[in-house]
Amino acid sequence: MATVTMTVNGKSVSGEVEGRTLLSDFVRNNLNLTGTHIGCDTSQCGACVVHVNGKAVKSCTMFALEAEGSSVTTIEGMANPDGSLGTVQQAFQDNHGLQCGFCTPGMVMSAAALLEENPNPTETEIREYLEGNICRCTGYHNIVKSIQAAAAAA
Amino acid sequence: MYDFALQRPQSLNEAIEALSAEGAEVLAGGQTLIPTLKNRLASPDVLVSIGGISELQGVSETDGTVSIKAGTTHGVVAATVESYPALASLAGNIGDPAVRNRGTIGGSLANNDPSACYPAAALASNASITTNKRTISASDFFMGLFETSLDEGELITQVDFPVPDAANYQKFDQPASRFALVGVFVAKYGNDVRVAVTGASEDGVFRWSEAESALASNFSSSAIDGLEVDSEGMIEDIHGSKSYRANLVKVMTKRAVAAC
């Protein structure tokens, strides 16, 4: 076991982990931040996307120890300081950008990363950026609409 | 996953030292290695993560050469390389955005997956692959399926790509994995044309020499018309037969030349 320390959603955290402990397991099991979902555990589905130093990554395909000293944002860090939904989250609610909701944390994190890189993406750019996020309910249409709305609202 | 110790050296020298231990392996971006570990297809005693080594990060472009440090992610290559657009575009179409934020050029080349994109760029450009011990020409680097000329404990530190006069990479996506079902990289240096094919052969990336000769005298897609690719030795799986892949090599080569 080794001690890992990082900043998660603005707070400094540390915990005891094995070398093989995944970042997804660290945030869920050590920090009880269960909004980060583990869908496939094979880096295909994107439900586990978090931001590490501002970049979207699949937290099931990174070890917790690799995030030592990093700044991590999970879906729990996307709300406004007063607890109300953040812009991207609100856009997903307004546009019915989810059905079962399992993929939604990853969709919101990928969407936020896209809008950071490209504040006014085209529909094609949005769909390309979501290549690593799989939704089995919506057919993606309302997810794309949600991201377009979030871009317009920002 | 079997358990292992994970080390995070902060300098190249520390990493080389750590890699000299019995049972130690490199962890670069982990986008192939971590799924492999999950499937228990690898069981290192020690993983040496090179992600924290700043000496292994970055891109520089001078005098017709693009130099990429081994730990540079696909996302950074896609966003920063200016003088070699075909290379930047290739990097920008590996996997998906989150994978591109972790996966590295050194990891891709060292793994030499027969369907990976970077080996095609390296071979078509005859890139120079520098390690902690020596510099290896891409022509001497790829040794077949997941095999390279790297020794135990040898670490790629930098890859230098001579910038061609014209180049294009055409990738026929395998849509589930986002690897290349077939990918063809064409690069033209004066009258010398190099055509590197990934995703097709059971021996991994290879040069299609007949196409290179034809294109050297007539650099147009019609120069490929009369050529056929032998389907012997092609990969066959549920996604495509040997003959399908052989035909795709020709189709993608024509598209790449047309787009140059």
| Per-residue confidence (pLDDT) for residue B183, from 0 to 100 | 98
In which band, very low, low, confident or very high, does the pLDDT at B169 lie, cut at 50, 70 and 90? very high
Fold topology of B5-49: 3.30.43
Contact at 8 Å (CB) between A22 and B62? Answer: no
Backbone angles phi, psi at A4, to 5 degrees: -120, 140
Q: Do B98 and A18 touch (CB under 8 A)?
A: no
Backbone angles phi, psi at A33, to 5 degrees: -95, 85
Q: Which site among A41, A65, A126 would you substitute to test the B interface, given the most B Cβ atoms closer than 10 Å to its Cβ?
A: A65
Q: Which site among A17, A49, A62, A127 would you substitute to test the B interface, given the most B Cβ atoms closer than 10 Å to its Cβ?
A: A62
CATH number of B57-162: 3.30.465.10
Q: Which residues of A touch B1 (CB under 8 A)?
A: 20
The interface pTM score, or ipTM, of the predicted complex is 0.96
Q: Do A43 and B3 touch (CB under 8 A)?
A: no
Work out whether strand B59-62 and strand B206-207 pair parallel, antiparallel, or are unpaired. Answer: unpaired
The top-level CATH class assigned to B166-259 is alpha beta
| Per-residue confidence (pLDDT) for residue B177, from 0 to 100 | 84
- pLDDT tens digits, one per residue of A94-124: 999 999 999 999 999 999 999 999 999 999 9
Contact at 8 Å (CB) between B101 and A55? Answer: yes
- Asked whether residue A48 carries a pLDDT value surpassing 90, the answer given is yes
Q: Which residues of A touch B99 (CB under 8 A)?
A: 43, 58, 61, 132
- Asked whether residue B146 carries a pLDDT value surpassing 90, the answer given is yes
- pLDDT tens digits, one per residue of B122-138: 999 999 999 999 999 99
Q: Domain A87-153 maps to which CATH number in 1.10.150.120, 1.10.1040.10, 3.40.50.1220, 1.20.1300.10?
A: 1.10.150.120
SS (HEC) of B172-186:
EECCCCCCEEEEEEE
Residues in chain B: 260
- Asked whether residue B239 carries a pLDDT value surpassing 90, the answer given is yes
Shortest Cα–Cα distance, A19 to chain B (Å) = 5
| Distances in whole angstroms, Cα of residue A46 to Cα of each of A83, B83, B131, B154 | 25, 32, 33, 33
| Per-residue confidence (pLDDT) for residue B185, from 0 to 100 | 98
What is the spatial distance between Cα A111 and Cα B242, in angstroms, rounded to a whole number?
39
Nearest Cα neighbor of B50 from B19, B81, B5 is B19
Nearest Cα neighbor of A126 from A148, A154, A99 is A148
Token pair, residue B38, equals 């999950």
| Per-residue confidence (pLDDT) for residue B176, from 0 to 100 | 82
Token pair, residue B79, equals 């966003």
What is the spatial distance between Cα A40 and Cα A45, in angstroms, rounded to a whole number?
6
Contact at 8 Å (CB) between B172 and B197? Answer: no
Q: Considering only the beta carbons, identify the residue of B4, B96, B98 that sits closest to A20.
A: B4
For residue B222, the one-letter residue type is: S
What is the spatial distance between Cα B111 and Cα B94, in angstroms, rounded to a whole number?
15
The ranges assigned to domains in chain B are: 5-49, 57-162, 166-259
- Asked whether residue B143 carries a pLDDT value surpassing 90, the answer given is yes
Which residues, 6 or more positions from A66, have their beta carbon under 8 angstroms from its beta carbon? A23, B6, B8, B27, B30, B49, B51
Stretch 167-226 of chain B: residues touching chain A, C-beta under 8 Å: 176, 178
Contact at 8 Å (CB) between B74 and B154? Answer: no
What is the spatial distance between Cα B107 and Cα B94, in angstroms, rounded to a whole number?
13
Residues of A near B (Cβ–Cβ under 8 Å) read 2, 18-20, 22, 41-44, 46, 49, 52, 55-58, 61-63, 65-66, 68, 110, 113-114, 129, 131-133
What is the spatial distance between Cα B149 and Cα B94, in angstroms, rounded to a whole number?
24
Hey, is the C-beta of B31 within 8 angstroms of any chain A C-beta?
A: yes
| Per-residue confidence (pLDDT) for residue B175, from 0 to 100 | 82
Q: Dump strand ranges (E) for B8-144.
A: 24-27, 46-49, 59-62, 65-69, 128-131, 135-137
Hey, is the C-beta of B26 within 8 angstroms of any chain A C-beta?
A: no
The ranges assigned to domains in chain A are: 2-75, 87-153
| Distances in whole angstroms, Cα of residue B245 to Cα of each of B145, B208, B233 | 17, 14, 10
Q: How far is CA A21 from the centre of its chain?
A: 19
- pLDDT tens digits, one per residue of B63-111: 899 999 999 999 999 999 999 999 999 999 999 999 999 999 999 999 9
CATH number of A2-75: 3.10.20.30
What is the spatial distance between Cα A93 and Cα B56, in angstroms, rounded to a whole number?
42
Give the nearest chain A residue to B50 (CA atoms): A66
The mean pLDDT value of chain B amounts to 97
Q: Report the pLDDT averaged over residues B35-62.
A: 96
Inter-chain Cβ pairs, chain A and chain B, closer than 8 A = 76
Burial of B109 (0-12, 13-18, 19+ CB in 10 A): buried
Percent of chain B beyond pLDDT 90?
98
Helical spans, DSSP H, in B166-241: 209-217
Work out whether strand B24-27 and strand B46-49 pair parallel, antiparallel, or are unpaired. Answer: parallel
Q: Report the pLDDT averaged over residues B158-181.
A: 94
The mean pLDDT value of chain A amounts to 97
Long-range contacts of A92-98 (CB under 8 A, 24+ apart): A92/A143, A92/A146, A92/A150, A94/A146, A94/A149, A95/A142, A95/A145, A95/A146, A95/A149, A96/A142, A97/A138, A97/A142, A97/A143, A97/A145, A97/A146, A97/A147, A98/A135, A98/A137, A98/A138, A98/A142, A98/A143
| Per-residue confidence (pLDDT) for residue B178, from 0 to 100 | 85
Q: Considering only the beta carbons, identify the residue of A63, A65, A110 that sits closest to B97.
A: A110
Q: Output Rg (C-alpha) for chain A, integer angstroms.
A: 15
